[in-house]
Structure 1
Amino acid sequence: MSGQSSASPANGGITPIQQMVASCSGAFITSVFVTPLDVVKIRLQAQKNPFPKGKYFVFCNGLMDHICVCENGISKAPGHFSGTLDAFIKIVRCEGIKSLWSGLPPTLVMAVPATVIYFTCYDQLCAALRVRMGDRAQEAPLLAGAIARVGSATVISPLELIRTKLQSQRQSYRELTDCIRSAVETEGWLSLWRGLGPTLLRDVPFSAMYWYNYERGKSWLCEWYDITEPTFTITFISGAASGSLASIVTLPFDVVKTRRQVELGELQAKNLPWQMSSSTFTVMRRIVAQDGFRGLFAGFLPRLIKVAPACAIMISTYEFGKAFFRKHNQEKLLGLLQSSNT
Structure 2
Amino acid sequence: MTSKCHEMTPGGITPVQQMVSSCSGAILTSLLVTPLDVVKIRLQAQHNPFLKGRCFVYCNGLMDHLCLCENGNSKVWYKAPGHFSGTLDAFIKIIRHEGIKSLWSGLPPTLVMAVPATVIYFTCYDQLCVALKARMEGQTEMAPLFAGAIARVGSVTVISPLELIRTKLQSQKQSYRELGACIRTAVESAGWLSLWRGWGPTLLRDVPFSAMYWYNYEKGKAWLCERNNTTEATFAITFLSGAASGAIASIATLPFDVVKTRRQVELGELQALNCNYTIRPLSSSTWSVMSRIVAESGPRGLFAGFLPRLIKVAPACAIMISTYEFGKAFFHKQNQETGLFRLQPGNS
**Matches of 1:99 and 1:294, distance apart in 2:** 34
Q: 1 CA distance for matches of 2:233 and 2:182? A: 50
Counterparts of 1:25-40 in structure 2, within 5 Å, are 25-39=24-38, 40=40
Query: Which AA in structure 1 matches 2:108?
Result: P
Say whether residues 1:106 and 2:112 are aligned partners: no
Structure 2 vs 1, CA of residues 14 and 205 (structure 1 numbering), >3 Å: closer, same or farther? same
Aligned counterparts, 1:248-327, within 5 A: 248-271=251-274, 273-274=277-278, 275=280, 276-327=282-333
Q: State how far apart, in whole Å, the 1-side matches of 2:174 and 2:44 are.
A: 30
Query: 1:58·1:103 contact (CA, 8 Å) conserved in 2?
Result: no
Deviation at 1:335, TM superposition (A): 11
Deviations 1:248-288 (A, max 9, x none): 00011111111111111111121251332411111111111
Q: Which amino acid aligns with 1:257?
A: K
- TM-score norm. by structure 1 comes to 0.84
Deviation at 1:300, TM superposition (A): 0.8
Q: Does structure 1 residue 332 correspond to structure 2 residue 335?
A: no
Query: Corresponding residue for 1:138?
Result: 141
Percent identity between the two aligned chains: 68
Q: 1:193 corresponds to which residue?
A: 196
What root-mean-square deviation, in Å, do the aligned CA atoms of Structure 1 and Structure 2 show? Answer: 3.1
How far is the alpha carbon of 1:115 from its aligned partner?
A: 0.3
Could you tell me which amino acid in structure 2 is paired with residue 329 of structure 1?
A: N
Distance, in Å, in 2 between the alignment partners of 1:336 and 1:107 is 38
Higher mean alpha-carbon deviation, 150-159 vs 172-181, is at 172-181
Per-residue CA deviations over 1:66-98 (Å, capped at 9, x if unaligned) read 22334678763399xxxxx98969987799686
CA contact (8 A) 1:210 1:242 kept: yes
Matches of 2:165 and 2:205, distance apart in 1: 21
Q: 1:41 and 1:254 mapped to 2: Cα distance?
A: 17
Three-state SS of the structure 1 residue aligned to 2:138 is helix
Structure 1 counterpart of 2:58, which letter? V
1:32 to 1:76, Cα distance in 2 relative to 1, 3 A:
farther
Instruction: Check the 8 A contact 2:68/2:269 in 1, yes or no.
Output: no
The answer to whether the 8 Å contact 1:54/1:74 transfers is no
Q: Quick one: structure 1 residues 125 and 293, their matched pair in 2 at CA, closer, same or farther if it must change by over 3 Å? A: same
- Which residue in 2 is equivalent to 1:24? 23
Is the partner of 2:113 in helix, strand or coil? helix
Aligned to 2:22, what secondary structure does the other structure show?
helix
Distance 1:130 1:213 in 2: 16
Aligned to 2:64: 67
Q: Distance in 2 between matches of 1:239 and 1:144?
A: 17
Distance 2:71 2:220 in 1: 48
Q: Name the counterpart of 2:3.
A: none
Once the two structures are TM-superposed, the CA of residue 159 in structure 1 deviates from its matched residue by 0.8
Q: Greater helix share, 1 or 2?
A: 1
Q: Secondary structure at the match of 1:170?
A: coil
Tell me the secondary structure at the aligned position of residue 68 of structure 1.
strand
In structure 1, what is the Cα distance between the partners aligned to 2:49 and 2:163?
Answer: 21
Checking the alignment, whether the CA contact within 8 Å between 2:335 and 2:341 is kept in structure 1 is no
Q: Distance in 1 between matches of 2:86 and 2:295?
A: 25
How far is the alpha carbon of 1:330 from its aligned partner? 1.1
What corresponds to 2:163 in structure 1?
Answer: 160
TM-score between both structures, scaled by the size of structure 2: 0.82
Alignment of 1:203-282 (within 5 A): 203-271=206-274, 273-274=277-278, 275=280, 276-282=282-288
| Equivalent residue for 1:76, pick from 70, 73, 77 | 73
Within 2, Cα distance between the matches of 1:322 and 1:249?
29
Q: Secondary structure at the match of 2:60?
A: coil
Instruction: Return the letter of the residue paired with 2:17.
Output: Q
Task: Sort the Cα spacing of 1:42 and 1:76 in 2 relative to 1 into closer, same or farther, 3 A.
Answer: closer
Q: Distance in 2 between matches of 1:291 and 1:209?
A: 28
| C-alpha displacement of 1:61 | 1.9
List runs of 5+ in structure 1 lacking aligned partners: 1-8, 80-84, 338-342
Cα distance in 2 between the residues matched to 1:52 and 1:60: 24
CA 1:87–1:104 in structure 2 vs 1: closer, same or farther (change >3 Å)? farther
